Each structure stands twice: as structure tokens, then as C-alpha cells.
Structure 1
Amino acid sequence: MKQLVQNLKTGETILEDVPIPQVRRGQVLIRTRRSLVSLGTERMLVEFGKASLLAKARQQPDKVKQVFDKISTDGLVPTLEAVFRKLDQPLPLGYCNAGEVIAVGEGVLDIRPGDRVASNGPHAEVVCVPRHLVAPIPDTVSDEEAAFTVIGAVGLQGIRLLNPTLGETVVVIGLGLIGLLAADLLRLNGCRVIGVDPDETKRQLAREKGIQTVPPADDTDVVSYVMAQTNGAGADAVLLTASTRGDELISQAARMSRKRGRIVLVGVVDLSLNRAEFYEKELTFQVSCSYGPGRYDEAYEQQGHDYPLPFVRWTENRNFQTILHLLSTGQLDVKPLITDVVPLTDYQQIYARIGQSRSIASLLQYAETVEQRTTIFLPDHHYGGMGDTKNRPIVGIIGAGNFTGATLLPALQPTGAALRIIASAGGLNGTLLAKKFSIAESTTDYQQVIQHPEVDLVIITTRHNSHARMTSEALRAGKHVFVEKPLVIFEEELPGVVAAQQESGRTVLVGFNRRFAPHVQRMKTVLGAERSGDVPMNVIATMNAGFMPTSAWVHDRTVGGGRLLGEACHFVDLITFLTGSRVAAVCMNAMGSRPSETADSASLLLRYENGSTGVVNYFANGSKAYAKERIEVYSQQRTLVLDNFRSLKGFGFGRFSGLKTRQDKGHAEQFSRLVHQLRTGGEPLIPFAEIVNTTQTTLAALRSLREGRWVAVEEISMDQPETIMAV
């Protein structure tokens, strides 16, 4: 299928060929008929992409500060690489979609294939959308009209926050598409509406709908005009739907408002508020968030938990329904706003002139049929661009998120592995990475990776709740597995993974990359690798992890498992490697009077079989200006201090005093060794028994937190010898 994306690095708008998404639980698969181009939002993306690097920085000063903070902790080169990788990730365009349902996921009972629906799906021939972001289209509403549903809900949500009453005077500043829709909705609400916009075409459209506009004279003072029209009282409310630089419109809105008036921002303007203008009138100011309550709420949008109507009357989905009802009754007429309808393949007619366009609403029209392939082939990108696959491990990848594109594939590509196939849920990310890293196939069906007859190694980088299941499936299909940590997120999942590994005899490597970092390898050497495990030591690992919003999926116990389970395992494995021993017992304490299993500021105390002691401090409440990771080792009157995988200092070691390099957390070395091992055979990079011990330790730590005591780490016997045959 075809999908429109925007390259933020070059500003180029591209029509990509991608596999169709697969319908998932709680979601709806839709064949698009029409989609609306949001000229304001999409113009900003296009113009941002075309801007120079300096101009991009000027537009996002908050991001520039984050860049400088990262330079101070991680170094210049890694930071610049991260910035350029971010800009090199094309974004899908569009969020106003109307189409026909072709499939529904488990749990969706009120929508059926064949139904026409509006959704916030992107500009793509087929979209997969959560149920709460889908609304049925009444029979009397055309596809063209229904494409206005979502953008109409944006304006409606701003009005709901404005809380207008019958007879009030409301000023709408900015008569673009959202402004015109909002003005019309306010008129239907019984308000006197005054529209403000420099474009006479837009003012004329407003007047045709019965909306008063500020006269076009160049010397007309908008504030004075509004004050005169309200007998000096000022507007009861102001809705800002314009997108512009500077703070003049905010000031203008404040000056034209009556005492205790309300101002709501739907558009994009600078927020340098003049305190005096707001103080003297006791004005209220609020920024509207998208379509309404539920937006960006993982539980509402992705998990399908609705807000009860008696307590949250207007959710984003109920706002969708309201717009569709007004369209069906003819009270809201959007047909005069349609400037042009363009076939998807002729998208450049819209995007090539988007910066200069005087259009109000442009629609994309889609073909009646679409080739529904879940796997596509990229003939010019075969096997990582490396030619013959003889004696080269063939790799399939499940997951195409930020870690895969920014870290894993750049580290894996130079190893000589043959990159055969990549799977991603939506199809777009996987296809973009396939093109960038010369991968032969892109699919939305992960079973195509697991069952692929040529694949030797399956790499899994999906969300944590799928790791155990996919690892077991891949092992039983006879594949070696690399799975990004954690291996499992629940105790009951571990025996099944162990059984699959024992039965298959294939290797399982979890992404504990830090033990392969050059500084850690040097630490192991100077500590005396030949006596590994004989001499007890104390190791303290501190991670200044930084704040992450509680709404993030990783905090969900059933999806991410929590940050401690998902990330603290790195440092348990690292201490295990340095001490040469396994954890015997663990005790964990987390910050707060009643910490939960997903708390992200905690300390783990580890007791090792050889008498060593480990401490893992994982904190989310520290400064970003401070280094992210610090490792300290104390042994035989000697001390090692590793600072953020850039600087290692030794005390009491005689000839060794330190090592400095660019930041290197061991990803490249990890994959280099893994590919070499698969080529030549031999012992696993990390004994599976150690991986299991680390996994059991983090699970036991959560039990320790629940029960407030030390918890012994259970052992699972490993019956099969761990030797890997060359592929």
C-alpha cells in the first residue's frame, strides 16, 4: 500500500510503498477513501524540514537546551549522531481519515467490516486505528464531509474549554480551517462571533456563514474594533486558532477581552504573556489539547478503557460523534470549505505549494482497491548490501522502534551479518529502516520472521510483554535469539522460555551490552580475570535514569513491567560479570511510603554466592546535567570508578591509572562477537544460566519490595550443554 511521510531532515514529502498493518486487539483496520490535509499542521512540518539546521534550532529552543545538556554528559559526537538520527526519521502525515472497515480486532464488537468510519488515521491506503479513535459515519454524510470529523473535533474541544453561553461575544483569531469550523460551531451555540484574519478570502467565507469579521482596512485596530462592537465591555471570550511566531496575538487577545474574560489557545503562538494585561482583568488562559479528554492517554486510546459518560461527558470519541451528527443534520456545512480533491498519487499538487497555498481544505482521494500485502520485497536492498550469504548468519528482526534504528542496526550492519527481513506493527518504520540498512523484506507479520526458512538469528526489540512469547516461538522454530532486555516480565513466563531453550538447544542472548563495553572489559582485566570469582568485591552501580512520565508504556506493569525490571537488569548482569559470581539473594527498597512494583527510584542490595556485594541505585529524580551512569568497584585496597562509559579511573593498581574514550556502552562489540560466534560456534557469550539468574534476581527484587524482606534467588537447572554450532 501507499503512505505519505515527511522527511524532517530534507523537507521532502514522499509516497512510500509499505506493507499493510495487521489488525490488533481493540483496533480497527480501515481502507481509506478520503483524507483531509491539515494545511496548518502539515505546512509547519514541511517548512521545518526544509529549514536549515540553524533555523530548526531557532524554532525549538527547548530542544537546543536538551542537546547542550546531553553534550555535557555524553560528549559532542554521540550527541550530534543522536540529533541527526532523530532528524532522519520520517514522520507519517495526516490525522483526518474517512474510509471503510475491512477488519476488526478482538474485543471490538460495535463496528463491523463494511462500515464507513471516520478516524485519526494518517494519509495511507490502509490504516489501523484504536477503537476509541474511530466513529461510525451516518448514511447522510459523504466521505468528503466525514474527513472533516477529527479537525472539527479539534475546534470543538477548544470551544468546550472556552465554555461559551448563549448571547456571548466570542472573537476567533485566525480563520483557517479550524478557525472557520470553530466560528461556525460557536454561531450554532448562539454566540455572536467576530472573526479576525488578514486574508480576505477567509473573511468572505466567514461572512457567508453569518459570521461578522473585522473590516479589511489596513489602519483598522482590531482591539478598538472589538471594544466598539461590545460597547466598551470587551469580548467575553477569545479563541486563538492562528499559527504564527511572536506573542502579539496573545497580547491582542488580552487587550480585547472583558474583565474576567476567557482565552483559549488552539493554534500555535509564542507564549510570552504580559502579566499586567492578564492581572488587571483577572483573565483566564488555557491551552487546548487536540481532540478532547482521552488524547495521549494510553489506557483510553490503546487499551480501550472509556471514561464514564456521567463524569467525563465529552471524550475525544464523543467529540467525533458530535461533529458527525452536526454534519448529518446539515447544521454544520463543510462543503464550501473544500478547495480541491486530489488523487493520492498526485499529492505533490498540494504539498509542492503548501507554503504558498491559499487553500482552505484539500482532500486526498484514494483508489477503490488496494493490494493488501503484509510483506513487501525491496529488490535493491538484498542481504544488507553484502552480496553472497555464504558463512554469514542470516538475521530477521522483530521491532522497528527507536532503539532498533538508532542503536541496534548501526551496530549490527558492520558485522557482516545478512539482514534478511524486518517486522514492524505498522509497516512504515520497518520499511524505512529496510531501505536505510539494505534489508531485503519488510513485513507486518512477525511470524514471517520466525518461520522464515533462511533466517538463523531472530532479534526481538518489541515491547517487553511480548519478549517471552516471541523468544519461545523463535526457539521452537529452530532459531537462535537475541532479545532486548528484559527476557520476561512475570515469574510464570520464565519456565516456558527455559524449556524452549533446553528443547531447541539454540542460544539465547539478552541485550546486556554493558559487559562488552571497552571500559568494562578493561576493568575485568585489571581486576584479575584469571581469578574471576575467587576474590569477593563490592560493586556500586548508580543510574541517573531521569524522569519519565507515568503515562509511558514502560510504567505499565503488564506491558513494560516497570523501569526497574526493564533496565536495572543491565546492572545486575554487569555486577555479575565483574564479580564472576551469581546472585544468591536480593533486597530492594523504593522511594515513597507505599512504593509500587513500577516505582523508578529504588536501590537493590545483592548478595553473591562468592561473598561479593552489589548495590544497584536506579534513580529517576536526579539532574539531567549529571552523568547518567557511574560504576564503582572496591577490591583488595584497589578502586575503579567508571564515569558514564567515557572515563575509567584506577586507584591502587600500579601501572593502570585510567582510560578515556568516546562514550561506548558495548553495543558494537556485543553484535560483533555474536555474529562471529554464530559463524564459528563455541561457548555462548553469556551463559544462559547467568541470564536466567539475572532475570530471577530482578523478579525476586519485586517480591522483596512487596514483602519487605530479603528474597533468595531460585535456581532453574540447565540440563543441556551450552555449545553453539556454527550456522
Structure 2
Amino acid sequence: MKQIIQDLKNGDTILEEVPAPLVKPGQVLIQTTRSLVSLGTERMLVEFGKANFLQKARQQPDKVKEVINKVKTDGLQPTINAVFNKLGQPLPLGYCNVGRVIAVGKGVEEFSVGDRVASNGHHAEYVSVPKNLVAKIPENVSDEEAAFTVIGAIGLQGIRLANPTFGETMVVIGLGLIGLITAQLLKANGCQVIGFDFDSSKVELAKSFGIHAVNPSEGIDQVAFVNNATNGVGADGVIITASNKSNEIISQSAKMSRKRGRIILVGVIGLDISRADFFEKELTFQVSCSYGPGRYDEDYEQKGLDYPLPFVRWTERRNFEAILQAIAAKSIQVEPLITERVPLDDYLKIYKDMSGNRSIASILVYPEKSSEPNRFVEISSNKFSPGKGVVGIIGAGNFTSAMILPCLKKTGAKLKFISSSAGLSGTTLAKKFGISQSTTDNLLILNDREVDLVMVTTRHNSHARLVIEALKADKHVFVEKPLALQQHELDAIVEAYLESGKTVSVGFNRRFAPLAIQMKKALGSGNTPMNVIATMNAGFIPANVWVHDMEVGGGRIIGEACHFIDLITYLSGSKVKSVCMNAMGTSPEENTDNASIMLKYENGTNAVINYFSNGSKAYSKERVEVYHQDRTLIMDNWRKLKGYGFKNFNSASSSQDKGHQNQFNLLVDAIQKGSEQIISMDELVNTTKASFAAIESLKKGQWIEVL
């Protein structure tokens, strides 16, 4: 299928060929007929892409600070690699999609194949969209009219926050696409509406809708105009839909408002607010968040958990439906807003010069298709031989892009497939790293007789299922940590492993780091007990990020602290016997990212893993101390190692290296030569059980035996 993307590195807007997505649980698969180009929002993205590195930095000063801090802790080269990797990820454009449902995911009952729907899908021939971001289109609403659903919901949410009542005077600043729809909705609500814009054609169009529209460039004072129109009272509310960096807009909005008026920001403006302007009138100011309640809520959008209507009357989807009802009832007119209709293949007529494009609404028209969507794209026609370390990768996220694929390329591994859920990220990486095929269908990888190693780099909750499927398909498996999130998953993996005769590897890369190997060498192999203190200054991650979700990410202890359980197992030469975890706070919680984990090993080793998210980013992220036979080792952030009391070792240093390259060198070599797996299955299982035991210990408040 074809999809419009923005290359953030060089600024090109591209019509890319990518595999069509499979429908996901809780989603509907839509074949697109029309999509609307939001010129204001998309122009900003395109212009950001075209900006040089200095201009990009000036636009995002907060990101520059993050980069500087990363240089201080991780070094220059890892930071440069991370920045370029981020800029190398293309951005899918568009969020106003209309089409026909061609498949319904598990758990979706509201939609059927054949339904015409509007959604926030991208500019792509096929999109898979969560059900709470999809709305059915009334029969008397055309596809072109329905393309205004999402953009209309943005304006509607701003109105809901302003809470206008019949007869009030409302001002709309900025009569672009959102502003014109907002003004019409306010008028339909029984308000007196005043609109301001510096574009005469938009002002005239607003007047045709019955709006008191004014062009300030004609010498009209906006504040005086509003005061005169309201007999000196001022506007009851102001909705700002303009995009302008000036602070003048917020100042004028305050001055034209009545005492205790409401100001709602939908657009993007300068926000250097004068306290006096707001203090004297006791004004309220609020920023509107996109389409309405539910936006950016993982439970609502991705899991399909609706808010109960009696308590949250207007959600994203209900706002979509309200806009469609308004269009159907002719309460608002959207067809006059259409400036141009452009076939998808001619997309550059819109995107080539967006800075000079004065269109209000551009509609992309998609070709009709009757055949099944293609779920793979061939990037190159490389030849492969079975049993030669041919790799299929499932997952194309940031870590795959930034770390796994650069390392694999250096190993000489034969990369045949990469699979991604939406198709775009996998295709981008396939082109960058010379992978032969990009797909959205994992079965193409699992059923391919030439692939003998499947690498799983997806979200944590899919790891166990994909490992089992790969083993049953007679493939060797590498999976990023964690191996599993629950005991029954681990049991099923072990059963599949024993039946398959294949190897399983987990991305516990720390043990393969040069400094870890140096530590193991210095400590010797006497299997005598030691004391280990490992500290992970992990950094704060917002609570709504999927890693914290126990069902999806498993929490940071199972998902990340397992790295150091395995490292200590490697250094001590023993397995975990029992675990006790204590977390910051007064009551035990099932999930935490501020905890101390105590570990007893079979050979008497005693270890403590401090996993903290409340430390300074300026401090080292990882530190390991080992105390053993009157000797001490201190490893700092995988860059420096200091030894005390050793006869033949004093110190070592390197560029930051957490062992990824060594890990993949050994993995590919083992697969190609038929060698043993790079970490024993017993240790993988023991580490995973120890991470489960840590969570159980926190809940029960006691030591947990690892059986």
C-alpha cells in the first residue's frame, strides 16, 4: 500500500510503498477512500523536517538540554548515534481519514465489514485504528464531508471547554480550517460569533456562514471592535485557533474579554501572559487537548475501555459522532471549505510548497481497490540458504533501530525479514540496513524454511507468545528481555523449548560488556561467595507509559532490573536461591520503580540491586560494586572500571559499551555453527523466576524462594 510520510532528516515528503497492516484486537481495518490534509498542523511538521540541525535545535530547546546531559553521562558518540537514529525515523502524516471497514479485530462489536467510517488514521491506503477512534458515517454524509470529522472534533472540544451558553458573544481568533468550523459550531449553539483573520478570503468565507468576520490588517482594532459589538461588556469567551509565535494574541484575548471571561487555546501561540491582564478580570485560561476526553489515555484509546457516559458525556468518539450529526443536519457546512481535490499519487501538489499554500482544506482521493492488500514489500532480491544464520526480525521499534540492527550488520548475519505492526517502521529499517523483505504478517517469517533465527523485539506482553510460536515453527529464538511476564508463560516456553531442540537466547547483554568480562576475569572462577551492590539510576518514566502497565510491560523490575540479576549470576557463577524486595513508600505495591532487591545465591553470594527512578540524570545510570576476598571492583556506567587489592589489575576504561555487539557476535556465530546457546536455559529461567519473586516478595512482605 502507499502512505505519505515525512523524512525528518532531509525534509522530504514521500509517498512510500509499505506492507498493509493486519487488523489488531480492538481495532478495525479500514480501506481509505478520502483523507483531509490539515494544512496548519502538517505544515509545521514539514517545515520542521526541512529545517537544518541548528534550526531544529532552536525549535526544541528542551531536547537540546537532554542531549547535553546525555553527552555528559554516556559520552559523545552514543549521543550522536541516538540523535541521528531519532531523526532517521520517518513521521506518518495525516489524522483525518475516511474509508470502508474491511476487517474487524477481536473484541470489536460496534462495527461490521462494509461500514463507512471516519477515524484519525494516517494518509495511507489501509489503516488499522482502535475502535474508540472510529465513528460510523450517517447515510446522508458523503466521504468528503466526513473527512472533516476529526478536525471538527478538535474545534468542538475547545467549545466544550469554553462552555458557551445561548446568546453569549464568542470570539474566534484565526479563521483557518479549525477556526471556520469552530465559528459555525458556536453559531449553531446560539452564540453571537466574531472572527478575526488576516486572510481576506477566509474572512469572506466566514461572512458567508453568518459570522461577524474582520480582517485586522484593514486598520481595525480587534479589542475596540469587540467592545463596540458588546456595548462595552467584552466577549464572554475567546477561542484561539491561530498558529503564531507572537504573545500579542493572548494579550489581546484578555483585553477583549469581559470580567470572568474564558479563554481557550486550541492553536499554537506565544504564551508570555501578563498577570495584570488576567488578574484584574479574573479570567480563566485553558489549553484544549485534541479531540476530547480519552486522548492519550492508553486504556481508552488502545485497550478500548470507554468512559461511562453518565460521568463523561463527551469522549473522543462521541465528539466524532456529534460532528457527523452536525454535518448530517446541515448545522455546519464543510463542503465550501474544500479548496482542492488531489489524487493520492499527485500528493506533491499539496506538499511541495506548503509555506505558500493558501488552501483551507485539501482532500486526498484514493484509488478504488478490490484485491486483498499486500502485506509484504520486497526491498531486495537477495538469495538465502537454509541453516546459514538467516534472520527474521519481529519488531521495528527504537531499540531495534538504534542498537540491534547496527550490531547485526557488523556480524554478517543474513537479514531476510523484518516485521512491524503498521509496516512503515519495518520498511524504513529494511531499506536502511539491507533487509530483503518488510512485512506486517509474522507468519511469513515463521513459515519461511530459510529463516532459522527469529528475533523478537516487540512489547513485553507479546514476548512469550512469539517465542513459543517460533520454537514450534522449528526456529532458534532471540528475544529481548524479559523472557516472560508470568509464571505460566515461562512454563509454556520451557515446554516448547524442550520439545523443539532449538536454542533460546535473551537480551541480557550486560554480561557480554568488555568491562563485565574484565570483572569476571579479575574475580576468577573459584565459585566462592561475594558481595555485590548494583545500582541502576534508571530515570523517571511517566506513569502512563506502557512499561509500567503490568499486563503490557510487566513493570520496570521484571522488564529492566532483570538485566542486573543476570549480570550478578554471571559474575558470581551461581544461581539465585531466594529474593526479598522492598520499595519506597509506606504500603507494598504490585508495581514499583524505586526498590531495593536482595538476592541470595546458591554459592552464598549476597547481592543488592538498587533500582531507582528518582535520581539525577547527571549521575551515572549504572554502577556495580563487587567485594570479594579482600578485593573490590567498582564499575562506573560501562566506561570505567577500578580495582582495589588486585595483584595484576588496577583499572580499565572504554567508550560506553553495554555488550550488545559481543552478544550478537556470539549469537550469530553460535547459530551458524550449531553451537550451544550463549546463556544456558537454566540461567535464563532462574533469572526470570527471580524477577517474578521480587514482585511477589513486595506483595507478601517476605523472602521468596526461587524454585
- TM > 0.5: yes
Q: Separation in 2 of the partners of 1:256 and 1:381? A: 65
Match of 1:226 in 2: 226
State the Cα distance separating 1:548 from its structure 2 match: 1.4
Q: Separation in 1 of the partners of 2:648 and 2:233? A: 82
Q: Separation in 2 of the partners of 1:254 and 1:652? A: 70
Task: Map 1:107-256; keep pairs closer than 5 Å.
Answer: 107-256=107-256
User: Among 432, 437, 442, which residue is 2:433 paired with?
Assistant: 437
Match of 1:639 in 2: 632
- Cα gap change, 1:91 to 1:255, in 2 (>3 Å): same
Task: Map 1:92-491; keep pairs closer than 5 Å.
Answer: 92-369=92-369, 371-380=371-380, 382=382, 392-491=388-487
Q: Which moved more, 1:249-258 or 1:47-56?
A: 249-258
The one-letter amino acid of 2:596's match is S
Q: Separation in 2 of the partners of 1:636 and 1:475? A: 43
Q: Say yes or no: does 1:550 pair with 2:543.
A: yes
State the Cα distance separating 1:474 from its structure 2 match: 0.8
Q: Say yes or no: does 1:693 pair with 2:686.
A: yes
State the Cα distance separating 1:374 from its structure 2 match: 4.4
Q: Give the structure-1-normalised TM-score.
A: 0.95
State the Cα distance separating 1:251 from its structure 2 match: 1.6
Match of 1:618 in 2: 611
The one-letter amino acid of 2:22's match is Q
Match of 1:566 in 2: 559
Q: Which moved more, 1:656-665 or 1:405-414?
A: 656-665
- Cα gap change, 1:426 to 1:215, in 2 (>3 Å): closer
- RMSD of the TM alignment (CA)? 1.4
User: Among 490, 493, 500, which residue is 1:494 paired with?
Assistant: 490
5+ residue gaps, structure 1, are: 715-727
Q: Separation in 2 of the partners of 1:273 and 1:300? A: 34
Q: Which SS does the other structure have where 2:477 is aligned?
A: strand
User: Among 669, 672, 691, which residue is 1:679 paired with?
Assistant: 672
Q: Is the 8 A contact 1:115 1:136 kept in 2?
A: yes
Q: Say yes or no: does 1:658 pair with 2:644.
A: no
C-alpha distance after superposition, 1:32-64 (max 9, x if no partner): 000000101100000000011111111111111
Q: What's the % identity of the aligned pairs?
A: 62
State the Cα distance separating 1:550 from its structure 2 match: 1.5
The one-letter amino acid of 2:164's match is P
State the Cα distance separating 1:406 from its structure 2 match: 1.2
The one-letter amino acid of 2:413's match is A
State the Cα distance separating 1:299 from its structure 2 match: 0.7
State the Cα distance separating 1:217 from its structure 2 match: 4.5
Q: Is the 8 A contact 2:503 2:676 kept in 1?
A: no
Q: Separation in 2 of the partners of 1:242 and 1:652? A: 67
Q: Separation in 1 of the partners of 2:513 and 2:691? A: 22
Match of 2:569 in 1: 576
Q: Separation in 2 of the partners of 1:45 and 1:661? A: 39
The one-letter amino acid of 2:412's match is G
The one-letter amino acid of 1:317's match is R
Q: Which SS does the other structure have where 1:662 is aligned?
A: coil
State the Cα distance separating 1:660 from its structure 2 match: 2.1
State the Cα distance separating 1:594 from its structure 2 match: 2.6
Q: Which SS does the other structure have where 1:560 is aligned?
A: coil
The one-letter amino acid of 2:530's match is M
Q: Separation in 2 of the partners of 1:81 and 1:228? A: 58
The one-letter amino acid of 2:480's match is E
Match of 1:35 in 2: 35
- Cα gap change, 1:670 to 1:170, in 2 (>3 Å): same
Q: Which SS does the other structure have where 1:355 is aligned?
A: helix
The one-letter amino acid of 1:103's match is A
C-alpha distance after superposition, 1:106-136 (max 9, x if no partner): 1111211111000001000011001111100
The one-letter amino acid of 2:428's match is L
The one-letter amino acid of 2:696's match is R
| Runs of 4+ residues over 6 Å off in structure 1 | none
State the Cα distance separating 1:476 from its structure 2 match: 1.6
Q: Separation in 2 of the partners of 1:392 and 1:373? A: 32
Match of 1:720 in 2: none
The one-letter amino acid of 2:469's match is E
Q: Separation in 1 of the partners of 2:405 and 2:169? A: 57
Q: Which SS does the other structure have where 1:665 is aligned?
A: coil
Q: Is the 8 A contact 1:125 1:370 kept in 2?
A: no
The one-letter amino acid of 2:92's match is P
- Cα gap change, 1:684 to 1:527, in 2 (>3 Å): same
Q: Which moved more, 1:110-119 or 1:367-376?
A: 367-376
The one-letter amino acid of 1:515's match is R
Q: Which SS does the other structure have where 1:140 is aligned?
A: coil
Q: Separation in 1 of the partners of 2:574 and 2:286? A: 57
C-alpha distance after superposition, 1:52-94 (max 9, x if no partner): 1111111111111111111111111111111111011001110
User: Among 617, 627, 642, which residue is 2:620 paired with?
Assistant: 627
Q: Which moved more, 1:640-649 or 1:485-494?
A: 640-649
Q: Is the 8 A contact 1:18 1:427 kept in 2?
A: yes
The one-letter amino acid of 1:320's match is F
Match of 2:506 in 1: 510
Q: Separation in 1 of the partners of 2:401 and 2:412? A: 17
Q: Is the 8 A contact 2:13 2:351 kept in 1?
A: yes
Q: Which moved more, 1:315-324 or 1:635-644?
A: 635-644
Q: Separation in 2 of the partners of 1:270 and 1:605? A: 51
State the Cα distance separating 1:636 from its structure 2 match: 1.6
State the Cα distance separating 1:390 from its structure 2 match: 8.4
Match of 1:703 in 2: 696
Q: Separation in 1 of the partners of 2:415 and 2:701? A: 47
State the Cα distance separating 1:433 from its structure 2 match: 1.0
Q: Separation in 1 of the partners of 2:379 and 2:14? A: 19
State the Cα distance separating 1:490 from its structure 2 match: 0.6
Q: Separation in 2 of the partners of 1:142 and 1:491? A: 52
Q: Which SS does the other structure have where 2:590 is aligned?
A: coil
Q: Which SS does the other structure have where 2:585 is aligned?
A: coil
Match of 2:65 in 1: 65
Q: Separation in 2 of the partners of 1:400 and 1:466? A: 14
Q: Separation in 2 of the partners of 1:344 and 1:623? A: 48
Q: Separation in 2 of the partners of 1:279 and 1:152? A: 32
Q: Is the 8 A contact 1:57 1:63 kept in 2?
A: yes
Match of 2:587 in 1: 594
State the Cα distance separating 1:168 from its structure 2 match: 1.4
State the Cα distance separating 1:256 from its structure 2 match: 1.7
State the Cα distance separating 1:271 from its structure 2 match: 2.2
State the Cα distance separating 1:16 from its structure 2 match: 1.0
The one-letter amino acid of 2:580's match is C
Q: Is the 8 A contact 1:200 1:216 kept in 2?
A: no
State the Cα distance separating 1:270 from its structure 2 match: 2.5
State the Cα distance separating 1:231 from its structure 2 match: 2.5
